[in-house]
Structure 1
Amino acid sequence: MTVADDGTSDARAARGHWVPFAVWIGGLLLIQAAAGLGQMPRGMPPVVYAVKTVLCAGLLVAYKPWRGYAGVHRRDWLPALALGLGVAGIWILPETPLAARLAPAWQEAYHRWLILPPGRLPDYYDPARFPTLPFNHPSLAYRPAECGWGLAIGRLLGSAFVIAVIEEFFFRGLLVRWLHGRPFHRVPLGRYDAGAFWTVVVLFGLEHDRWAAGMVAGMVYGWLALRRGSVAPAIVAHVATNLALGLYVMVSGQYGFW
């Protein structure tokens, strides 16, 4: 189903899809720039993440980009949840102690080539210690012992229920249709265009440091949106992925995923 033609201009319809995403990415780039200049206190990223979460949730509510989309049919809940959990497994398994025991060479190759930037091992990767992170790794700032349970839970909820929704409206709701034709809101989401679909898969993957897992996720979420002609099943799957990944992080202590 396409966005309803209720008199809203294509530009306004598009803003509801891209503005929250742009604000989110802007906050991420700000943190990275400050960290690169050595001006970011260790405890600041969880605070910035919480601010981004509240701000972008407010933008979603204000713009209501979901208007005009079909909801999730009851027969789609189980497949979407199962696929979302499967993506979480693909994200997690290569970096587990089990993978290190069963296929250490493959795990090292995964870290060298399938995590950005390719061709070198991440600075936190040490086979003798992995998956334990070095004490000064920035992701450890999200541990409840450092940032407090409020900010840690905020990180979990923001990744699952805000950024997952934002990304789906931007990538599957807007970008794949905008690449297909304009005005974007008149392009049925269930219409397949190979160039648009695979371009979005690649861009979605490259948005993440674990780019290969990101591309697999992009294929799964894209297929769900295409299959039902709505972004809603893709949102369900993406929320399931991020929630499962976040819970794994907090239970296992593997904050490198954050």
Structure 2
Amino acid sequence: MASSKHRSAKKEDVTCMKKSSGDGAGAVVMPTKSAWRVRLDKISRRPSTPRILPFAVYIFFTFVVDMLERLDWGGDGLRWMYGVKIAFVAATIWFLRNNYDELRSASMPRRKDWLIVIAAGAGVFVAWINLGAAWMVVGTPTGFDPRGVQGIDWELVAVRLTGAALIVPVMEELFWRSFLLRWLEKADFLAVDPARVGLKAFAITAVFFAFEHNLWLAGLLAAVVYAGLYMRTRNLWSPVIAHGVTNAMLGCWIVATGNWIYW
């Protein structure tokens, strides 16, 4: 038999589940969310989150692979980690796809812009393979070599090319151009017209993008070109496509010439 103290506590618990307002006697109040869940919900609703998260996933996997290589763990199996990384990035973009109004609501570049977009991407590729002097390089590029005992592993090449030409451009342009470029101009970045981005935001984004790459001068030029396309056309697909053209041409050139260090 329960004590009177226990019955009293139980009664108080039930009473706490009732509404004290006039919304209806006896209505049940749902338990409140924990503080961390509330913060997580707020973060997930921020417009910046869907544009940062795919890039963060990419950087996280890059960091993990770098640490494993430094510890000499994984061996040749680490070469497939690029495919795993790209799969996670692609899945993240797909999961968050309804948040990308700049891609969903925008059509492909206008017919007269296609030539400019493709030429811009090709121009960045030409610059990339020619701006490799010692002072134009920061850090030590490790590259990616898909060769094995029996020659080139074409499955690895296919994964690398697909990721570089199709997934990376979407991921990077969402972060660098759609988010950071406009956010540096105004916190409410979705309201910023790309054509009205100021010189300060333009320059800061270009410098950050440059030093994300070992070939910093080539990266700086690429940032200027891609941002310029976005500002000129007001269409994020323009830098995405140009970026894809650059990476596709670079990948084909690397395979054809064996300059694996550029990967």
* Distance in 1 of aligned mates of 2:248 and 2:54: 20
Deviation at 1:217, TM superposition (A): 0.3
| Residue 69 (structure 2) pairs with residue 47 (structure 1) | no
Report the equivalent of 2:138. Answer: 116
Counterpart secondary structure, 1:29: helix
- Contiguous gaps of at least 5 residues in structure 2: 1-42
SS in 1 for 2:187: coil
- 8 Å CA contact retained: 1:164, 1:235: yes
**TM-score, with structure 2 as normaliser:** 0.76
What is the CA–CA distance in structure 1 between the aligned matches of 2:118 and 2:158, rounded to whole Å? 21
Tell me if 1:214 matches 2:251: no
Q: Is the 8 A contact 2:131 2:215 kept in 1?
A: no
Aligned residues: 216
Residue in structure 2 matched with residue 89 of structure 1 by the alignment: 126
Cα pair distance change 1:240/1:166, threshold 3 Å: same
Conservation of the 8 A alpha-carbon contact between 2:161 and 2:248: yes
Which residue is equivalent to 1:151? Answer: 156
Residue 69 of structure 1: how far off its partner (Å) = 3.7
Contact 1:172 1:225 in 2 (8 A): yes
| Aligned partner letter, 2:77 | M
Partners of 1:232 and 1:203 in 2: CA distance = 21
Q: What root-mean-square deviation, in Å, do the aligned CA atoms of Structure 1 and Structure 2 show?
A: 2.1
Q: Do the aligned residues in 2 keep the contact of 1:77 with 1:236 (CA within 8 Å)? A: no
Match of 1:57 among 85, 90, 100: 90
Choose which of 162, 178, 193 in structure 1 pairs with 2:167. 162
Task: Give the aligned partner of residue 67 of structure 1.
Answer: 104
Look up the equivalent residue of 1:55 and give its one-letter code.
F
Higher Cα Rg, which structure: 2
1:46 Cα offset (Å): 2.5
Task: State the TM-score, normalizing by the size of structure 1.
Answer: 0.78
Q: CA deviation at 1:139?
A: 2.5
Q: Match of 1:182, SS?
A: coil
Contact 2:124–2:222 (Cα < 8 Å) also in 1: yes
What's the offset of the Cα at 1:40? 3.9
> Does the 8 Å CA contact 1:143/1:152 hold for their aligned counterparts?
no
Per-residue deviation, 1:212 = 0.7
Give the corresponding residue for 2:24. none
**By how many angstroms is 1:229 displaced?**
1.4
Is this contact kept in 2: 1:20–1:60, CA < 8 A? yes
1: CA distance, partners of 2:247 / 2:179: 21
- Does structure 2 retain, via aligned residues, the 8 Å contact 1:190–1:230? no
Q: 1:147 to 1:13 in 2, by over 3 A?
A: farther
Q: What is the letter of the counterpart of residue 75 of structure 1?
A: K
Alpha-carbon distance in 2 for matches of 1:17, 1:25: 13
| Structure 1: gaps spanning 5 or more residues | 1-8, 96-109, 125-136
Q: What's the offset of the Cα at 1:16? A: 1.9
User: What is the percentage of aligned positions where both structures have the same residue?
Assistant: 30
For the pair 1:31 / 2:65, whether they are aligned, the reply is yes
- Per-residue CA distance 1:55-95 (angstroms, 9 max, x = gap): 21122222122234453112111111011011001111345
Q: Deviations over 1:97-146 (max 9, x none)?
A: xxxxxxxxxxxxx12x11113xxxx5x8xxxxxxxxxxxx7632x23756
1:30-58 per-position Cα deviation (integer Å, ceiling 9, x unaligned): 111111222241x2333110011112112
Secondary structure of the structure 2 residue equivalent to 1:81:
helix
- 1:246 equivalent in structure 2: 251
For 2:87 and 2:175, the matched residues in 1 are separated by 18
- Using the alignment, how far apart are the partners of 2:89 and 2:143 within structure 1? 23
Q: Residues 138, 204 of structure 1: CA spacing in aligned structure 2 closer, same or farther, 3 A cutoff?
A: closer
